[in-house]
Amino acid sequence: MEYKLESGAPSGPIQTAWDRHRFDIKVVNPANKRKYRVLVVGTGLAGASAAASLGELGYDVQAFCYQDSARRAHSIAAQGGINAAKNYQNDGDSVWRLFYDTVKGGDYRSREANVYRLAQVANNIIDQSVAQGVPFAREYGGLLANRSFGGALVSRTFYARGQTGQQLLLGAYQSLMAQVNAGTVKVIPRTEMLDLVVVDGKARGIITRNLVTGKLESWAGDAVVLATGGYANVYYLSTNAMGSNVTASWRASKRGALFANPAYTQIHPTCIPSHGDYQSKLTLMSESLRNDGRVWVPRNKADAWDEGAHKVGRRPEDIPEKERYYYLEERYPTFGNLVPRDVASRAAKVVCDNGQGIAYEGRGVYLDFADAIGRLGENTVRERYGNLFEMYQRITGDDPYKTPMKIYPAPHYTMGGLWVDYNLMSTVPGLFVIGEANFSDHGANRLGASALMQGLADGYFVLPYTIGHYLAKKGAQPKDTSLPEFAATATETKERLNKLLTINGRRSVDDFHRSLGKVMIDKVGMARNAEGLKSALAEVREIREEFWQNVSVPGNDNGLNQSLEKAGRVADFLEFAEVKIHDALNRQESCGGHFREEHQTGEGEAQRNDEDYAYVAAWEYTGPGNEPRLHKEHLKFDYVALTQRSYK
Amino acid sequence: MGWLSKFLNSNIGLKVLMALSGMMMLGFVVVHMTGNLQVFLGAHALDRYGSFLQNIGELLWVARLGLVSALTIHVLSATILTLRSWGARPVAYRSKYWFAPSLLSRTMLYGGVAIGLFLVLHLLHLSPSIFGLDHGIAAITPGYEHCKTVGDGLSASLECGVYANVVHGFSVVWVSALYIVAMIFLGMHIGHGAWSMFRTLGLDNPRYDRLAQGAAVSIGALVAVGNSLIPISVLVGLVHL
Amino acid sequence: MNLTLKVWRQNGPTDKGQFKTYEARDISSDASFLEMLDIVNEGLESKGEEPIGFESDCREGICGVCGMVVNGAAHHSTPRATLCQVHMREFKDGDTVTLEPFRSKAFPVLKDLIVDRSAFDRVITAGGYISVRAGSAPDAHVTPIPKVLSDRSMDAAACIGCGACVAACPNAAAMLFTGAKVTHLNLLPQGQPERYKRVQAMVEQLEHEGFGHCSNHQECVRACPKGVPLDVISLMNRDFIGAQFKLRS
């Protein structure tokens, strides 16, 4: 198919673009709003805020989530904070600086106009959240506190202890439930979207499975909004929730929505390493730990200590100072342990690949607080990191006050997602994509405390306007699920489920997921090369083929069947993985979270190629087993000069 | 008044009724104990106190009515709440781990029932005149042989002196034992209830919570010990005719 | 380590259900409790048997999805932890472990150890919010809020809605959950306009769902993985009593 990937962002000065755009787009007559039905899938920060805001405007909203309550989406696990250019600290912050930092942080692979808008509305998010009762941290004077986060030079991060995501999500969830009470929104929990229904080229509905009764249901609306999060679980082990999945996005992609930049994944440097094959997910430890902790591995491989392989090595306390390799401090004297996430992660991989890694299978490095404890005293360290140390000890059984922490990078956030224009609409008219599920604002790497900002910006302050433009132009449609397209899509879904249930193989779904994850993290993880990517492509195909012959999905389709839920999600990951690998193969440069070993500077740093790759790679699904087709949206940088990131 | 009945029928409303009636009864228990402790001042003091109470006339009936209403409300609310509580968990756990193994809170129900049963016995034992049962149970209870009945019907009373009643009554070991056990229950009931009622009414303050809890336990202990002193003293011969 | 599991199996909401015994073999003491169950379930799945139904999502103690009663304790007896934060090193080789669903009339069992907690959503829907339309908020610094107040509000807001308070309460009450939301919002200046309306509506819904009453046993507080304090209940009581007067004047 032919796609014209035009962002539709207004030309002219970027500072007034959003204002002008809001004036130019159509507005739905208030009296008519209730005639339009919007289906919102996912109730995380983006979905809940969008559904609530659309309800407040008077639209007829139906919100779906697979969890038992809209309050549980994985946004809830975000710890650090949310950025906004309020400049409450008087340290020179501004919308422009936030815009600039975000474009630069994304390694110049995001769309300028979107990022500027994001920086603009970020302030409104803080106002909105405070008004909802989000208990942000405050100073003794009663005003909001800020902290510097993720290497930013200004203090612009608002936070609620280590639970900022939770508090913001609860704020959005409560607004959503207020709309449920007002009768404008209906929340349909324990329901998973399994396909998108496209009628005459436009998104007109979805097919869902009721996860309790197993019933397949069709829902018709005037527009569909996907707020279904990222795809980090393609790696099996990630910091995402167990249920986080790519199914909704991937199904939409198979119905014509282009998938943009699937290669971009953020691998967070400070997570607790895996302990064994039974490991089900990885836990993030706040990035703030790197402020006082020193990262090192033993200089001698023989000293590396690996419980998994019963390799004894030496206990970290017994390794003398000069035999410790403080690799971040040595390689990056200026930033030291505080280099950005992608740089820190890759550096850890390099030393572990070199056999100096510790912990299970040598996939870990030390994060040592002995210096900090010596310098500041145990009490100060306890004040700063007490709750994190406690969490660490609970999980690992080790006491970080006595022995260094072990950390290792883990997939955490995905910058890629369905391609959307300035109105957040995908290439399927009527299908809008918001939050982590879209690709637009973070480029190739996301800065700390920016995910919450983007999810809520999309939901509260962007989509509610831009969706009106589409609806007003099109006029209200009959909400008719008896159209043949609904029946056809539902039949396909049903057949797929039946197929999964009748394979009766011998391998569990998780086992396949683990195999997929291993290939992905080894070959499409922190560092990639053409050879590895090609072999990954073949291996993923093999796993997929075996999956469809040998997966065991017990039980039936008429009730709660968790094996069936997982099987459907893993089946989609197995297909999605392929397009992700294709994207990684195609992008012959290193940028942000995408590092191609062939493209690095002499000192091993990422080497961007702005000449050939300053574009968004949007992939079209071309049928089962076929190679996806690449479409490009070229990125223009009128306001931010492209420079090489350096943290030396 | 629909809102009032709705409020009083709510769990919190019923708990408020329990707290208020409990507070009244706690007041009574403390006053009652203080009065009775005059037994240690000798027969004259206690008998004078007894006849003082007999002679306050209508006021006595007001007090009795108040206490009976408080008791009724307390028991009724407790019954409704307990039934609702059972209904709220129709299937019991196979095993139950107690996080906060508070003996006091967990024995509220049993203690309450025990105190209720004791109350009946107590009234029959030491104030049989209320029910005009002087020829019935009172007559066969050991210790009352010395008394004679004056008047009849509701206004009938036994004339034998409160002090003598006490000494005779508590000379019987099992009666005293029963009283002491009941007082322990009462003390425990108060130990939790006197703190809990403030929480129910929302009249607590986190800063003084430990103090409040300590105070409640102390009052409970005081009531248990203070009241038990009387039968114990009779038994050991400290208080005698 | 090896363990014997006595697990409540119930096929659906109307099924009668019963305990079944399973063996967990060769479990690492570093595994989490839920990973131990994953291993048992994978064993069942590869034999074509239906795995034990239990819920979990974030597995880092914040989403509030996981939870069951382990050896009689909601989320196991580990202090201040959700079940996903409990690790096998807290058990001994050869232990017998009993797994039951949260038991409450308001939380019907859907399957095995999975219960329906939508009653909580309905309690929040009744009034657990501050009505503020997107776009209508004043600047965040318009109303300074004393840090102490904001911190107390946050203590209550930390609730993850897991339902352990209900499961642990001898009366199956949801007073801690509801009190937490009432306290979070009613302490803040932004929450004042709807203060009494909120508590009235939420308590009415609470009653309607069939939760029990509060006897101040404090089981909920000890079972709560987030340390929500008991005071939230008395604050709710106070405001509910207050509502009887304020809403009528």
Q: pLDDT (tens digit, 9 = 90+) per residue, C78-107? A: 999 999 999 999 999 999 999 999 999 999
Q: What is the pLDDT of residue B47?
A: 86
Q: pLDDT (tens digit, 9 = 90+) per residue, A576-613? A: 999 999 999 999 999 999 999 999 998 888 999 999 99
Q: What is the pLDDT of residue B127?
A: 60
Taking 90 as the threshold, does the pLDDT of residue A306 lie above it? Answer: no
How far is B3 from chain C, CA to nearest CA, in Å?
8
Question: Which pairs count as long-range contacts for B63-71, CB under 8 Å and 24+ apart, including other chains?
Answer: B66/B24, B67/B24, B67/B25, B67/B28, B69/B21, B70/B20, B70/B21, B70/B22, B70/B24, B70/B25, B70/B28, B71/B21, B71/B25, B71/B119
- Helices B173-200/C231-246 angle, 10° precision: 70
Contact B97 C216 (CB under 8 A): no
Q: How confident is the model at residue A81 (pLDDT cuts 50, 70, 90)?
A: very high
Q: pLDDT (tens digit, 9 = 90+) per residue, C180-232? A: 999 999 999 999 999 999 999 999 999 999 999 999 999 999 999 999 999 99
Contact C214 B16 (CB under 8 A): no
Contact B88 C104 (CB under 8 A): yes
How far is B111 from chain C, CA to nearest CA, in Å?
14
Q: How confident is the model at residue B143 (pLDDT cuts 50, 70, 90)?
A: low
Q: Write down the mean pLDDT value for chain B.
A: 87
Q: pLDDT (tens digit, 9 = 90+) per residue, C32-85? A: 999 999 999 999 998 989 999 999 999 999 999 999 999 999 999 999 999 999
Q: What is the pLDDT of residue A415?
A: 97
On whether ipTM exceeds 0.90, the answer is yes
How far is B187 from chain C, CA to nearest CA, in Å?
17
Enumerate domains of chain A plus CATH numbers. Answer: 272-410 (3.90.700.10), 484-609 (1.20.58.100)
Taking 90 as the threshold, does the pLDDT of residue A128 lie above it? Answer: yes
Q: pLDDT (tens digit, 9 = 90+) per residue, A17-57? A: 999 999 999 999 999 999 999 999 999 999 999 999 999 99
Q: Which residues of B touch C231 (CB under 8 A)?
A: 204, 206, 209
Domain count, chain B: 1
Q: pLDDT (tens digit, 9 = 90+) per residue, A241-263? A: 999 999 999 999 999 999 999 99
**The one-letter amino acid at C78:** T
Question: What is the spatial distance between Cα B20 and Cα B160, in angstroms, rounded to a whole number?
Answer: 36
Q: Which residues of C touch B81 (CB under 8 A)?
A: 171, 212-213
C204: exposed, middle or buried (Cβ count in 10 Å: 0-12, 13-18, 19+): middle
Contact C231 B204 (CB under 8 A): yes
Nearest Cβ partner for C214 among B15, B108, B204? B15
Q: Which chains touch B (3 or more CB pairs under 8 A)?
A: C
Which phi and psi (to 5°) does residue A542 adopt?
-60, -45
Q: Write down the mean pLDDT value for chain A.
A: 95
Which phi and psi (to 5°) does residue A598 adopt?
-70, -20
Question: What is the spatial distance between Cα A101 and Cα A593, in angstroms, rounded to a whole number?
Answer: 16
Q: How confident is the model at residue B158 (pLDDT cuts 50, 70, 90)?
A: low
Question: Which structural domain, as residue segments, surrounds residue B165?
Answer: 13-55+64-79+109-236
Whether B3 is in a domain gets the answer: no
Smallest CA-to-CA distance from A431 within A113, A40, A49 is with A40
Q: Give A503's Cβ-side CA count (13 Å radius).
A: 25
Q: What is the DSSP letter of A481?
A: T
Q: What is the DSSP letter of A138?
A: B
Taking 60 as the threshold, does the pLDDT of residue A359 lie above it? Answer: yes
Contact C213 B85 (CB under 8 A): yes
Contact A133 C184 (CB under 8 A): yes
Whether B210 is in a domain gets the answer: yes
Q: What is the pLDDT of residue A499?
A: 97
Q: Give A168's Cβ-side CA count (13 Å radius).
A: 38
Smallest CA-to-CA distance from A342 within A439, A447, A488, A479 is with A447
How far is B192 from chain C, CA to nearest CA, in Å?
9
Q: How many residues does chain B have?
A: 241
Q: Across residues B51-60, what is the average pLDDT? A: 84
- Which residues are within 8 A (CB) of A65 and not within 5 positions of it... i.e. 6 or more apart? A41, A42, A43, A47, A72, A73, A187, A188, A189, A190, A191
Q: Which residues of A touch C132 (CB under 8 A)?
A: 128, 131-132, 175
Q: With the C-alpha atoms ordered C3, C6, C10, C13, is the resulting torsion angle positive or negative? A: negative
Q: How many residues does chain C have?
A: 249
Question: What is the spatial distance between Cα B189 and Cα B109, in angstroms, rounded to a whole number?
Answer: 9
Cβ proximity of B12 and C241 under 8 Å: yes
Question: What is the spatial distance between Cα A50 and Cα A62, in angstroms, rounded to a whole number?
Answer: 11
Q: Alpha carbon of A289 to those of A76, A346, A370, B81: distances in Å?
A: 21, 18, 13, 50
Cβ proximity of A368 and A398 under 8 Å: no
Cβ proximity of A562 and A66 under 8 Å: no
Q: Alpha carbon of A26 to those of A121, A420, A421, A526, B74: distances in Å?
A: 20, 19, 16, 44, 65
How far is C136 from chain A, CA to nearest CA, in Å?
8
Query: Going by beta carbons, is chain C in contact with chain B, meaning 3 or more pairs sit under 8 Å apart?
Result: yes
Task: Decide: helix, strand or coil at residue A171.
Answer: helix
Question: What is the spatial distance between Cα A410 and Cα A610, in angstroms, rounded to a whole number?
Answer: 28
Find residues 60-119 of chain C whose CB sits inside 8 Å of chain A.
60, 62-65, 81, 85, 87, 89, 110-111, 114, 116-118
Q: Which chains touch C (3 or more CB pairs under 8 A)?
A: A, B
Q: Across residues A278-299, what is the average pLDDT? A: 92
Q: How many CB pairs under 8 A join B and C?
A: 134
Q: pLDDT (tens digit, 9 = 90+) per residue, A497-516? A: 999 999 999 999 999 999 99
Please report, rounded to a whole number, the percentage of residues in chain C having pLDDT higher than 70. 100
Contact C157 A170 (CB under 8 A): yes
Q: pLDDT (tens digit, 9 = 90+) per residue, C115-146? A: 999 999 999 999 999 999 999 999 999 999 99
Q: Is B72 on the interface with C (CB under 8 A)?
A: no
Q: What is the pLDDT of residue B137?
A: 46
Q: Across residues A625-642, what is the average pLDDT? A: 95
How far is B27 from chain C, CA to nearest CA, in Å?
21
Q: What is the pLDDT of residue A645?
A: 74
Taking 70 as the threshold, does the pLDDT of residue B157 lie above it? Answer: no
Q: Burial code of A385-412, b = ≥16 C-beta within 10 A, e = fewer?
A: beebbebbebbbeeebeebbbbbbbbbb
Q: How confident is the model at residue B201 (pLDDT cuts 50, 70, 90)?
A: very high
Q: With respect to CATH, is domain C3-111 assigned 3.10.20.30?
A: yes
Smallest CA-to-CA distance from A9 within A623, A448, A639 is with A639
Question: What is the spatial distance between Cα B102 and Cα B188, in angstroms, rounded to a whole number?
Answer: 11
Q: Is C19 on the interface with A (CB under 8 A)?
A: no
Smallest CA-to-CA distance from C8 within B24, A489, B174, B93 is with B93
Q: How many CB pairs under 8 A join A and C?
A: 229
How far is B1 from chain C, CA to nearest CA, in Å?
11
Q: pLDDT (tens digit, 9 = 90+) per residue, C234-248? A: 999 999 999 999 988
Domains C3-111 and C118-246 share a fold: no
Q: How confident is the model at residue A372 (pLDDT cuts 50, 70, 90)?
A: very high
The least confident of A265-279, A346-360, A604-618, B141-155 is: B141-155
Whether B99 is in a domain gets the answer: no
Smallest CA-to-CA distance from B174 within B229, B235, B93, B133 is with B235
Question: What sections of C128-249 are H helices per DSSP?
Answer: 147-157, 164-168, 175-187, 195-209, 219-223, 231-246
**The one-letter amino acid at A428:** V
Q: Write down the mean pLDDT value for chain C.
A: 96
Q: Is B99 on the interface with C (CB under 8 A)?
A: yes
Question: Between the CA atoms of A185, A187, A192 and A194, what dihedral angle is there, to the nearest 10 degrees?
Answer: -20
- Helices C231-246/B2-9 angle, 10° precision: 170
Q: Domain ranges in chain C?
A: 3-111, 118-246
Taking 60 as the threshold, does the pLDDT of residue B140 lie above it? Answer: no
Taking 80 as the threshold, does the pLDDT of residue B222 lie above it? Answer: yes
Q: Alpha carbon of A56 to those of A228, A464, A477: distances in Å?
A: 21, 10, 21
Contact C69 B93 (CB under 8 A): yes
| Two tokens, residue B92 | 């019991």
Q: Is B181 on the interface with C (CB under 8 A)?
A: no
Q: Give A218's Cβ-side CA count (13 Å radius).
A: 22
Cβ proximity of B21 and B73 under 8 Å: yes
- Residue predicted with more confidence, B225 or B124: B225
Q: What is the pLDDT of residue B125?
A: 73
Question: Between the CA atoms of B127, B128, B132 and B138, what dihedral angle is there, to the nearest 10 degrees?
Answer: -160
Q: What is the pLDDT of residue A605?
A: 85
Whether B224 is in a domain gets the answer: yes
Please report, rounded to a whole number, the percentage of residues in chain A having pLDDT higher than 70. 99
Of all residues in chain C, the one with the smallest CA distance to A183 is: C125
Contact A396 C57 (CB under 8 A): no
Contact C140 A397 (CB under 8 A): no
Q: How far is CA B37 from the centre of its chain?
A: 15
Q: Give B240's Cβ-side CA count (13 Å radius).
A: 4
| pTM (two decimals) | 0.96
Q: How confident is the model at residue A496 (pLDDT cuts 50, 70, 90)?
A: very high
Q: Alpha carbon of C119 to those of A41, A66, B53, C123: distances in Å?
A: 22, 17, 54, 6
Of all residues in chain C, the one with the smallest CA distance to A140 is: C147
Q: pLDDT (tens digit, 9 = 90+) per residue, A381-437? A: 888 888 889 889 989 999 999 999 999 999 999 999 999 999 999 999 999 999 999
Question: What is the spatial distance between Cα A268 and Cα C170, in angstroms, rounded to a whole number?
Answer: 43
Contact B95 C71 (CB under 8 A): yes
Highest-pLDDT range among B47-56, B139-148, C38-47: C38-47
Contact A276 C28 (CB under 8 A): yes
Contact A464 C130 (CB under 8 A): no
Q: Alpha carbon of B179 to those of B58, B106, B158, B232, C10: distances in Å?
A: 29, 22, 21, 10, 50
Q: What is the pLDDT of residue B134?
A: 45
Q: Which of left, alpha, beta for A376 (phi over 0: left; psi -120 to 50: alpha)? A: alpha
Taking 90 as the threshold, does the pLDDT of residue A151 lie above it? Answer: no
Question: What is the spatial distance between Cα A128 and Cα A134, in angstroms, rounded to a whole number?
Answer: 9
| Two tokens, residue C140 | 């965040």
Nearest Cβ partner for B3 among C19, C98, C248? C248
Contact B87 C210 (CB under 8 A): yes
Taking 70 as the threshold, does the pLDDT of residue B126 lie above it? Answer: no
Task: Decide: helix, strand or coil at residue B6.
Answer: helix
Whether B91 is in a domain gets the answer: no
Whether B101 is in a domain gets the answer: no
Whether B154 is in a domain gets the answer: yes
Highest-pLDDT range among A118-127, A142-151, C42-51: A118-127
Nearest Cβ partner for C238 among B95, B105, B202? B202
Q: What is the pLDDT of residue A386?
A: 86
Secondary element (H or E) of residue B229: helix B209-236
| CATH of C118-246 given 1.10.1060.10, 3.60.9.10, 2.60.40.10, 1.10.150.120 | 1.10.1060.10
Whether B70 is in a domain gets the answer: yes
Contact C213 B92 (CB under 8 A): no
Contact A76 C135 (CB under 8 A): no
Taking 70 as the threshold, does the pLDDT of residue A311 lie above it? Answer: no
How far is A353 from chain C, CA to nearest CA, in Å?
25
Of all residues in chain C, the one with the smallest CA distance to A503 is: C48
Q: What is the DSSP letter of B237?
A: T
Nearest Cβ partner for B202 among C212, C222, C234? C234
